[in-house]
Structure 1
Amino acid sequence: MLASKRILLIIGGGIAAFKSLDLIRRMRERGAVVTPVLTRAAEEFVTPLSVSALAAQKVYRDLFDLTDEAEMGHIELSRSADLIVVAPATADLMAKMAGGHANDLASTLLLATDTPVLMAPSMNVRMWLHPATQRNLAQLTADGVGCVGPGEGDMACGEYGPGRMAEVPEIIAAAEGMLADGPLKGRHVLVTSGPTHEPIDPVRYIANRSSGAQGTAIARALLAAGAQVTFVTGPADAARPMGAQVIEVETAQQMRDAALGALPADAAVFAAAVADWHVVGAGDSKIKKDGDRLPVLEFAENPDILAEVSQMGAGRPGLVVGFAAETDDVIANATAKRLRKGCDWIVANDVSPDTGIMGGAENAVTLISEEGEEAWARMGKDAVAARLVARLAEALG
C-alpha cells in the first residue's frame, strides 16, 4: 500500500528519534519514497548523514537555506508528498502544530500543507498527561491530524506510563490506513471495546467476560476502509488494532472521559461491555476476612456513555452505534435500549452461556435501526465487523 507513495518524514527531537531510522528502512522496503526533515533538536539524537543514507534522499534541515529554496521551496516540499509523518511528534512539535506556529522548517511545512498528516507522539509521561498536551491533542484531532500511539511502558527517563512512541509496524499500519482509498477515507470513527474493571479494593474488581475481540475486529475493518480510528479499550484480552490511536482505560468513568475527549467524530461504535455499576468508596487496602460478618458493598451507577453521546446535541457523531449483549428477550430488550439511549443503531446479540459468543470467535447479531430489524447469520467476528463497516460506510455516504 506504500508502493510509490511519497512520504515526508519529519523527525522531532526526542530519544525515540532513533526509531525513525528503522521507520525509513521499513517504508522503503514497501516501496515508499521517503524525504526526511530534521528539526534542530532531532540532530542531537540522529545524524543527517545516517538519515540521508537510509532514505537515499537529501535531508532538509533549514527554513532559510538558499539552495533548498531555489531547488524546491518549502511550500512545494510539503505539498508534493502523499502523506506527512511526524515521528517522533514531541510535545513542542504538537504545540506548534496546534497553535499554527511556523518558526522553523518542520512547523512551516506542517502549516503550509494540504497533505494528510500522521503524528506519532513521544514524550515523558507527565508531559503527555499535562492538560496543555491533551488540549493540543484534542485540537489536532479536530483538525483532522491522524495519531498513532503513544504506547505505555518504561521511559528513557526512568518513569513508566503512556508516552512511548508507537512501534514501527504500528506507524506503518497507520500510514497505510491513511493512504487507503477505501469508502471511509478522511472519516474519523470512535470505537470503544472490551470490558471495564470496577475496583472493590486494590486486588479485586467487578468485570465481565468480554474479550474485546469484536471491538478490535471492527476497528481493523474501519482501518481497512480508510478511516482514522480512535480505539478506547478496557483491559481486554484481544490484540490492539495496529494503525489506530489506542487509548487504554480501566473503569467506566475513564472510558467515558476518553470517549468524549476523542470527539468530534463522524461515527462512534460503542462495542465495549461497560460495567453498569461501581463500588462506592472502593478501599485503598485489601478487604480482610472477618469471621463474624461478610463485607457489605454499596453500588452506584456508572456513567451511561452511549446515552450521553447519543443525546449530546451539538458535536454528536453523525452515526452512533451501540451494542446490546442480552440473555433474555434479546430483540425486545435491544429495541427498547435503542429508543431509551437515543442511538441510531443497536447491534444485538445473545450472550447466554450456551452460545459461546462472549469471549468466543463467532457472533450472531441482529442490526436494529429505525427501519426495523435485520438478523445476520452466525459468522466469525471479523466477518461481522466487515459487514457492519460496509453498512456504516453506506450510511455515511
Structure 2
Amino acid sequence: MLGVAGGIAAYKACELLRQLTESGHQVRVVPTAAALSFVGEATWAALSGQPVSTDVWTDAHEVPHVRLGREADLVVVAPATADLLARAAAGLADDLLTNVLLTARCPILFAPAMHTEMWEHPATQANVATLRSRGIVVLEPAVGRLTGADTGKGRLPEPAEIFAAAVRLLRRGADAAPDLVGRHVVVTAGGTREPIDPVRFIGNRSSGKQGYAIARAAVARGAKVTLVAANVGLPDPAGADLVRVETTEQLRQAVLAAASGADAVIMAAAPADFRPAEFVASKIKKVDGVAPTLELVTNPDIAAELGAAKPAGQVLVAFAAETADLERAVAAGQEKLLRKRADLIVVNEVGVDKTFGAEHNQAVILGADGIRYTLPELSKDDLADRILDRVVDRFA
C-alpha cells in the first residue's frame, strides 16, 4: 500500500510508485483528498495498474477501510505531512488512509516531508516519537530545497532511497520486529583523505558501500542513525542524519561527538593510518624529475579511543581490513579486537579486486566473548543485517 498525503512532494511519490511496480510489487495507492489536489487519481491508476482507493464509501460492500490494511505486506506513506503524522499518532480514522494505518498488521514506513519549522516543532517531534515507540519506521527527512526559496531539513528523501528502505522492510518480513527502535546507532563509512598539498592526498580504495548498507539496515530496523561519511559519492541513505568529513581528524571529531550517548558505534570507515607531517600550502612542483621526500606521521586510532572510553552498555564494532589469507586475517583481527577493546570486529580480506567497491563481501565476525561467525560471501546488505543481529545480541 502506498499512502500519499497532501504535500507538494506528492509528485515524487510517482517515481517511488514506478520503482515499486517495476521491481515486481503489486501496489495499491491510497491518496488523501488533499493529495489529489497535487496529483490526480488517473495518474496513480495509470502508474500502478490498480484501481485507486480514495474514500471509505466507494465499494463499501468490500469494506475497504479494513480489507486494504489487512491485505498489505507493507504500508509506505510518502510524503507523510505533519498533519498525517499527527492523525496517525493520535489513532484517528477520519479518512481511508488513516483507517488503513489502524488495520495494517504489517510493517509501516513513513517518509516525512514538510517545512523545517513544522518538522522541528515539539508537537511533530512528539508524534514521531510516539509512532517510533510503536515499532513504526519514520525516516528522517532530507536537507535541501523546500517549497519556494526555502532550504533546510524537511525535504522528502529521494524516491530511490525510500524504495531501498521499503525493500529492506519487505525482506525482513512481516514478523520481523523493529529491534532497534529507541536505539541510536552511529555508523562510519568511506575512506579518509590526508592532504599533501592543495591538489594531492593520501587515501584508500574504500567506497563506503558497506557502511551505507549498515546505515540503511539500521534505519529499517527502527534505529536513529547518524552516518559519518568520508569522501563517499553514494546517494544519501533515507532516514540517516549524514555528517560529511574528509580527513581522519575530522572523522575522529565527528564520531566522538556523535558517540556520546549512542547505543552502538559501528566503525565501517577506513581511516588513513598515516598523514603527511606537514601540509604544503602550494602545489609541489616537479623539479628535474626528482620526487620529493614525504615524511609521514601516525593518525590516532579512533576505534581504540572509543573503546578506552566506552560507557557501560554501548556496543562498539570495529573493522579489520586485511590483505592476508583468511586465517592470518582472523588472527590479526583478534589482536585488533583486544587492543581496541571492541565488542565485535568484522574481519575481511581486501585488495584491488576484493571488497572495495564490490557489491558483495565475505567476512568473519569475532566477539570479545570468544564467539566466531564465519560467513559465506553475501551481499553487503545481507552482511549489514548479520552485523546488526550480533549488535542486538549484545543489547540482550
- Measured against the shorter chain, the TM-score band is 0.5 to 0.7
Where does residue 133 of structure 1 map in the other structure?
Answer: 124
Task: Show CA shifts across 1:216-263 (max 9, x none).
Answer: 25457x58xx85674623354142476x53321257776677678997
Paired residues of 1:95 and 1:136 also in contact (CA < 8 A): yes
Instruction: Give the deviation of 1:152 after TM superposition.
Output: 2.7
Question: Which of 336, 358, 370 is 1:372 aligned to?
Answer: 370
Instruction: Give the deviation of 1:117 after TM superposition.
Output: 0.9
Q: Secondary structure at the match of 1:180?
A: helix
Where does residue 87 of structure 1 map in the other structure?
Answer: 78
Map of 1:1-397 to 2, 5 A cutoff? 8-62=1-55, 65-148=56-139, 150-181=141-172, 185-188=176-179, 190=185, 192-194=187-189, 212-219=208-215, 222=217, 230=225, 232-240=227-235, 245-250=239-244, 269-272=266-269, 311=311, 313=313, 321-323=317-319, 334-337=336-339, 340=341, 343=343, 345-347=344-346, 367-372=365-370, 389-390=385-386, 393=389
Paired residues of 1:253 and 1:303 also in contact (CA < 8 A): no
Q: Secondary structure at the match of 2:9?
A: helix
Q: Compared with structure 1, are the counterparts of its residues 131 and 305 closer, same or farther at alpha carbon in structure 2 (3 Å cutoff)? A: farther
Paired residues of 2:109 and 2:136 also in contact (CA < 8 A): yes
Measured in 2, the distance between the counterparts of 1:127 and 1:195 equals 33
Q: Compared with structure 1, are the counterparts of its residues 337 and 167 closer, same or farther at alpha carbon in structure 2 (3 Å cutoff)? A: same
Instruction: Give the deviation of 1:270 after TM superposition.
Output: 4.1
Measured in 2, the distance between the counterparts of 1:133 and 1:274 equals 37
Instruction: Give the deviation of 1:136 after TM superposition.
Output: 3.3
Measured in 2, the distance between the counterparts of 1:303 and 1:393 equals 20
Measured in 1, the distance between the counterparts of 2:50 and 2:362 equals 52
Q: Compared with structure 1, are the counterparts of its residues 158 and 112 closer, same or farther at alpha carbon in structure 2 (3 Å cutoff)? A: same
- What RMSD, in angstroms, separates the aligned Cα atoms of the two structures? 5.1
Where does residue 291 of structure 1 map in the other structure?
Answer: none
Task: Show CA shifts across 1:40-96 (max 9, x none).
Answer: 22122122233234334333333xx44433222412221111111101111221222
Q: Compared with structure 1, are the counterparts of its residues 120 and 253 closer, same or farther at alpha carbon in structure 2 (3 Å cutoff)? A: farther
Measured in 2, the distance between the counterparts of 1:84 and 1:135 equals 21
TM-score, normalized by length of structure 1? 0.64
Where does residue 281 of structure 2 map in the other structure?
Answer: none
Q: Secondary structure at the match of 2:6?
A: coil
Q: Compared with structure 1, are the counterparts of its residues 169 and 217 closer, same or farther at alpha carbon in structure 2 (3 Å cutoff)? A: closer
Measured in 2, the distance between the counterparts of 1:69 and 1:212 equals 50
Instruction: Give the deviation of 1:306 after TM superposition.
Output: 5.8
Q: Compared with structure 1, are the counterparts of its residues 162 and 256 closer, same or farther at alpha carbon in structure 2 (3 Å cutoff)? A: farther
Identity %: 35
Measured in 2, the distance between the counterparts of 1:217 and 1:94 equals 27
Instruction: Give the deviation of 1:160 after TM superposition.
Output: 1.9
Task: Show CA shifts across 1:152-191 (max 9, x none).
Answer: 3222231223322123322322222211157994445646
Q: Secondary structure at the match of 1:33?
A: coil
Q: Secondary structure at the match of 1:103?
A: coil
Code of the residue aligned with 1:154 in structure 2: it is R
Measured in 1, the distance between the counterparts of 2:174 and 2:310 equals 24
Q: Compared with structure 1, are the counterparts of its residues 260 and 156 closer, same or farther at alpha carbon in structure 2 (3 Å cutoff)? A: farther
Where does residue 291 of structure 2 map in the other structure?
Answer: none
Q: Compared with structure 1, are the counterparts of its residues 309 and 156 closer, same or farther at alpha carbon in structure 2 (3 Å cutoff)? A: farther
Code of the residue aligned with 1:70 in structure 2: it is H
Code of the residue aligned with 2:212 in structure 1: it is T
Code of the residue aligned with 1:212 in structure 2: it is G
Q: Secondary structure at the match of 1:107?
A: helix
Instruction: Give the deviation of 1:324 after TM superposition.
Output: 6.8
Q: Compared with structure 1, are the counterparts of its residues 186 and 136 closer, same or farther at alpha carbon in structure 2 (3 Å cutoff)? A: same
Instruction: Give the deviation of 1:211 after TM superposition.
Output: 5.6
Paired residues of 1:234 and 1:255 also in contact (CA < 8 A): no
Paired residues of 2:10 and 2:38 also in contact (CA < 8 A): yes
Q: Compared with structure 1, are the counterparts of its residues 368 and 91 closer, same or farther at alpha carbon in structure 2 (3 Å cutoff)? A: same
TM-score, normalized by length of structure 2? 0.64
Measured in 1, the distance between the counterparts of 2:259 and 2:126 equals 14
Where does residue 295 of structure 1 map in the other structure?
Answer: none
Paired residues of 1:86 and 1:120 also in contact (CA < 8 A): yes
Consecutive unaligned residues of structure 2, counting only runs of 5 or more, are 193-201, 245-249, 273-301, 323-330
Code of the residue aligned with 2:345 in structure 1: it is I
Measured in 2, the distance between the counterparts of 1:171 and 1:111 equals 22
Code of the residue aligned with 1:11 in structure 2: it is V
Count of residue pairs brought into register by the alignment: 346
Measured in 1, the distance between the counterparts of 2:369 and 2:11 equals 53
Pick which of 34-43 and 368-377 moved more. Answer: 368-377
Where does residue 201 of structure 1 map in the other structure?
Answer: none
